[in-house]
């Protein structure tokens, strides 16, 4: 599975968009980009995933560059409850083995 | 629909003692996983199962055993606990894309 690189931490003002970057330059053609988050001491929560097209759901948007070497998770209107560690993971669908890095600590501030 | 549940929530063991952590899911998922998370780190896969009666080793399997006798349950056993196994243990299940995580078991080995 490809390795990902994320900034260790980011701050965002409440109500503003939070843009979390992820580099995955060694991603292969059949690997998906997944995003999970972990709110303090809880189990990780699935957010969104994509292969090469941009994706949007009720929680977030995922923008994947055309060469698929990087992606950005966008929380359009961050709230204090979005403060969490965000993990970007790439793996093959049905490969079923998530490899978690250290993630990005997002702090949403009022 | 309870999702993924874990018992117990907390446990303190003495070195050399044994215990079993229970994970149960009511979503009829084929795949189940056990992870551990140490302070400041991402989750690491201990063992996983791709269906009833099957188990496989993950990234950090030493010192642990697992069993999947029923589709809805995945047991993690520590035969002889060591202080290095002090951690938070998360169970997860999935059918295809996203993994659903339980609330975690906080284990301390003294």
Residue A2 scores a pLDDT above 90: no
Interface test with B, best of A41, A45, A96, A97 (most B CBs within 10 A): A96
Tell me what the pLDDT averaged over chain A comes to.
91
Looking at residue B27, the DSSP 8-state letter turns out to be: S
Residue A1 scores a pLDDT above 60: no
Which residue is closest to A91 within chain B, CA to CA? B97
* CA atoms within a 13 Å half-sphere pointing along the CA-CB vector of A67: 6
In this prediction, residues A10-31 reach a mean pLDDT of 94
Alpha-carbon distance B51 to B55, whole Å? 8
Report residue A90's pLDDT band, with 50, 70 and 90 as the boundaries.
confident
Classified as helix, coil or strand, B83 is helix
| Cis peptide preceding B8, ω within 30 of 0 | yes
Please give the helix or strand (H or E) that residue B99 lies within, else none. strand B99-101
**Cα distance from N-terminal residue to C-terminal residue, chain A:** 38
B50 and chain A in contact, CB less than 8 A? yes
Q: Which residue has the tokens 């709110």?
A: A39
CA-CA-CA-CA dihedral for A29, A30, A33, A34, to nearest 10:
-170
pLDDT of residue B21: 98
Residues of A in contact with B21 (CB under 8 A): none
pLDDT of residue A33: 93
* Distance between B103 CA and the closest CA of chain A, angstroms: 5
């Amino acid at each position: 599975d490809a390795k990902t690189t994320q900034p260790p931490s980011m701050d965002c003002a409440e109500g503003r968009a939070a843009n979390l970057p992820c580099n995955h330059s060694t991603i292969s053609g059949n690997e998906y980009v997944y995003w999970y988050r972990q709110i303090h001491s809880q189990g990780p929560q699935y957010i969104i995933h994509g292969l090469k097209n941009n994706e949007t759901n009720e929680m977030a948007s995922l923008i994947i560059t055309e060469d698929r070497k990087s992606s950005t998770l966008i929380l359009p209107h961050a709230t204090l409850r979005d403060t969490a560690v965000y993990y970007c993971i790439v793996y093959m669908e049905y490969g079923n083995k998530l490899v978690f890095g250290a993630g990005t600590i997002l702090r949403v501030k009022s | 629909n309870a999702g993924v549940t874990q018992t117990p929530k907390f446990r303190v063991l003495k070195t050399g003692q044994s215990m079993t952590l229970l994970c149960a899911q009511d979503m009829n998922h084929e795949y189940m996983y056990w992870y551990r998370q140490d302070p400041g780190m991402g989750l690491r896969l201990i063992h996983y199962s791709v269906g009833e009666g099957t188990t496989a080793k993950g990234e950090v399997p030493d010192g642990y055993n697992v069993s999947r006798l029923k589709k809805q349950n995945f047991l993690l056993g520590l035969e002889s606990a060591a202080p290095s196994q002090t951690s938070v243990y998360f169970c997860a299940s999935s059918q295809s894309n996203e993994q659903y995580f339980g609330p975690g078991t906080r284990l301390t080995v003294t």
